[in-house]
Amino acid sequence: MQAFFHQSEFEQPHPARARAIIKAHPEVRQLMVRDPYTALIALSIVIMQTAITYGMGTLGFGYWWLSLLIAYCIGAFANHANYVIIHDATHNLIFRSKSWNKMVAILADLPNLTAGAMGFRVYHLKHHSHQGDFEWDADLANHWEARLVGNKWYRKALWLMFFPFFQLTRPPRIKAITMCDRWFLVNLACAAAYDVAVVYFCGWAGLFYLVLSFFFSIGLHPVGARWIQEHYTNDPEQETYSYYGPINLLCLNMGYHNEHHDLPSIPWNNLPKLRSLAPEFYDTLKYHSSWSRLLFQFIFDKRYSLYSRIERMKQRNDSSRALPHTIKDPMINGVALTATADRF
Task: Going residue by residue through the chain, which has 344 residues, state the pLDDT in tens, using 9 for 90 and above.
Answer: 677 899 888 888 999 999 999 999 999 999 999 999 999 999 999 999 999 999 999 999 999 999 999 999 999 999 999 999 999 999 999 999 999 999 999 999 999 999 999 989 988 988 999 999 998 999 999 999 999 999 999 999 999 999 988 988 988 888 777 777 899 999 999 999 999 999 999 999 999 999 999 999 988 999 999 999 999 998 888 999 999 999 999 999 999 999 999 999 999 999 999 999 999 999 999 999 999 999 999 999 999 999 999 998 855 544 334 333 333 333 333 333 322 223 32
Q: Kindly write down the DSSP assignment for every residue of 191-235, as one continuous string.
A: HHHHHHHHHHHHHHHHHHHHHHHHHHHHSSSGGGGHHHHHH--S-
The whole-model pTM stands at 0.88
Residue type, 217: S
- How far does CA 189 lie from the centroid of its chain? 24
Whether 290 and 269 have beta carbons less than 8 Å apart is answered as no
Q: Of the candidates 148, 167, 149, 143, which has an alpha carbon nearest to the alpha carbon of residue 304?
A: 149
E strands in the chain: 6-8, 242-243, 287-288, 310-312
Half-sphere exposure (Cβ direction) of 277: Cα atoms closer than 13 Å: 20
pLDDT of residue 314: 59
3-state helix, strand, coil in the chain (%, to 5): 60, 5, 35
